[in-house]
Amino acid sequence: MSVDRDRIEAAVSEILAALGDDPAREGLQQTPRRVAELYAELFAGVGVDPAEALRSTFDSSPVSSGAAPETDARADERTTADDLDAFGRPAQPVLLRDIAFRSVCEHHLLPFEGVAHVAYVPSGRIAGLGSIVAVVESASSRLQLQERLTDDIADALERALDARGVLVVLDARHGCVTARGPRQTGSTTVTLSARGSLADPSARAEVTALLGATQGLGR
């Protein structure tokens, strides 16, 4: 879905006039066009399912090289068959941290930007690392709330990969906090969304520590 650039240009001209300025003066003549181009880029994800970025995945089954390795007899007794990999060992998470993103808050139309930390536990299929970045980019390229964006990324990974567990942490600085109102230029907002096995408090704490999300990595 593409934005209607003509309508955006007309609306920006009206806003400039409403602000008491002259849209026809030299410094503003091209502003409506520039804003329309900017919005086309910022909102390129409108109407796009972020999970589409994960259409190409890879089989995570190990390549056979003889006998399978021995399982750990000390494995947590709470581990179920759904938590085991093809060798019968506890499935391990894939982690990707410090994914830079930017989005636009739907409340004041001001930008917010930061880093996304993503982890998932595969259940047969894995995604290319660039595809995970593309999910974050797609989900953030629309009017958003940080809380919803966190859920959108987690939902896309869970649906497309049928992942055993998903954990997404966003750490972002908001224009509506830094440029207006409280004007807290140093504060950030952290949101978390967990699914499946990574919703378990102990597993979530372990993976969050590995991601470094609790230490403000990526700022």
Distance of CA 50 to the CA centre of its chain: 9
Catalytic residue among 37, 113, 176, 206: 176
Catalytic residue among 14, 52, 106, 147: 106
Strand partners, 189: 172
Catalytic residue among 9, 137, 158, 174: 174
For the question of residue 117 being annotated catalytic, the response is: no
For the question of residue 146 being annotated catalytic, the response is: yes
Question: Which residues 6+ apart lie within 8 Å of 50 measured at CB?
Answer: 135, 138, 139, 152, 153, 156
For the question of residue 29 being annotated catalytic, the response is: no
Integer Cα distance of 16 and 190 in angstroms: 35
DSSP 43-101: TTTTT--GGGGGSSEEE-PPPP-SSPPPP-TTS-TT--GGGB-TTSSBP--EEEEEEEE
Catalytic residue among 9, 117, 144, 146: 146
Catalytic residue among 52, 107, 184, 215: 107
Contact by Cβ (8 Å): 28, 18: no
Q: Hey, which residues are catalytic here?
A: 105-108, 146, 174, 176
